[in-house]
């Protein structure tokens, strides 16, 4: 059966709305009383898996799901072996370097060599500072990364920013943007070629629906 991996969190509502527009209805995941992590579309066409955002590409890469929806930030961090089918154009955010507002630094290049940078996106942070040829110590944090500079554990952070409100409320300002991120439609590479369960048809329908919405 055709299986879709859907991300918990900020991308879920828009993902379900898009899939519903092409006839794949997983809106039961939005029911606060529902605790199921795997549900069938009412038509019996497909099943949906509700997983942590970071796990979406894992389920797709290993073939437990033929396709999924996930943020570009996750793909940049994990570098999974999947096929990126389309930019879905929602879930806009950016990966940024931020420091306390009272910091003397106003660009990432001004940060002192071997300073500490806290981030849950360890690979992205490491690669960015390598590109700048600026040696830093990356401190992995997987909770409230903003606490790194607040407590003095780090001089800066690398984290996702949407509205910037969380940074502002914690006395932080953005210095530089590593890249912008949106939701991406991804597929299992072999399934994408072999087309089980009419996968290419459904991916095409999703892309067309997205284009109509954007238009």
Same domain, 146 and 71: no
* Structure confidence at residue 34 (pLDDT): 87
Whether 69 and 144 map to the same domain: the answer is no
pLDDT at residue number 214: 65
Same domain, 6 and 86: yes
3-state secondary structure (DSSP) of residue 48: strand
Query: How many domains does the chain divide into?
Result: 2
* pTM score: 0.93
Q: In this predicted structure, what is the pLDDT of residue 139?
A: 97
CATH of the domain at 163: 3.40.190.10
Residue 15, phi then psi, degrees to nearest 5: -65, -45
**Are residues 174 and 196 both part of a single domain?**
no
- Same domain for 110 and 36: no
pLDDT value for 204: 97
Pair 154, 125 in one domain:
yes
Report the alpha-carbon distance of residue 39 to residue 20 in Å, rounded: 14
Residue-number span of the structural domain to which 79 is assigned: 2-91+182-214
What pLDDT is recorded for position 1?
93
Same domain, 187 and 81: yes
Q: What angle do CA 27, 33, 34 make, to 5 degrees?
A: 50
Instruction: Kindly state the DSSP code that residue 110 receives in the 8-state scheme.
Output: G
Please check whether residues 117 and 156 belong to one and the same domain: yes
Question: Are residue 71 and residue 128 in the same domain, yes or no?
Answer: no
What's the pLDDT score for residue 54? 95
Q: Which two tokens stand for residue 3?
A: 């299986």
Phi then psi dihedrals of residue 199, to 5 deg: -55, -45
10-residue mean pLDDT series, the chain (215 residues): 96 97 96 92 94 97 98 96 96 97 95 97 97 97 94 96 94 96 97 95 96 70
| 62 and 99 assigned to the same domain | no
Same domain for 130 and 79, yes or no, is no
Q: Are residues 114 and 68 in the same domain?
A: no
β partners of residue 187: 67, 83
pLDDT of residue 211: 84
The pLDDT assigned to 212 comes to 77
Record the tokens describing residue 55, joined without a space: 């796990």
Residues 33 and 31: their CA atoms lie apart, in Å, by 5
Q: Sign of the C-alpha dihedral, residues 199, 24, 184, 39?
A: negative
């Amino acid at each position: 059966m055709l299986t879709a991996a859907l991300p918990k969190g900020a991308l879920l509502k828009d993902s379900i709305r898009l899939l519903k527009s092409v006839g794949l209805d997983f809106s039961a995941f939005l029911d606060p009383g529902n605790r199921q992590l795997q549900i069938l579309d009412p038509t019996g066409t497909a099943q949906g898996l509700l997983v942590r955002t970071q796990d979406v590409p894992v389920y797709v890469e290993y073939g437990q799901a033929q396709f999924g929806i996930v943020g570009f930030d996750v793909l940049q961090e994990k570098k999974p072996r999947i096929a990126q089918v389309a930019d879905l154009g929602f879930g806009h955010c950016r990966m940024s370097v931020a420091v306390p507002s009272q910091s003397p630094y106003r660009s990432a290049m001004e940060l002192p060599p071997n300073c500490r940078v806290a981030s849950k996106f360890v690979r992205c942070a490491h690669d960015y500072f390598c590109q700048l040829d600026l040696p830093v110590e990356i401190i992995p944090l997987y909770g409230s990364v903003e606490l790194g500079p607040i407590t003095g554990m780090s001089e800066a952070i690398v984290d996702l920013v949407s509205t910037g409100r969380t940074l502002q409320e914690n006395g932080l300002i953005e210095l530089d943007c590593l890249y912008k991120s949106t939701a991406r439609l991804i597929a299992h590479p072999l399934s994408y070629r072999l087309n089980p369960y009419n996968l290419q048809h459904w991916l095409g329908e999703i892309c067309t629906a997205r284009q109509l919405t954007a238009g």
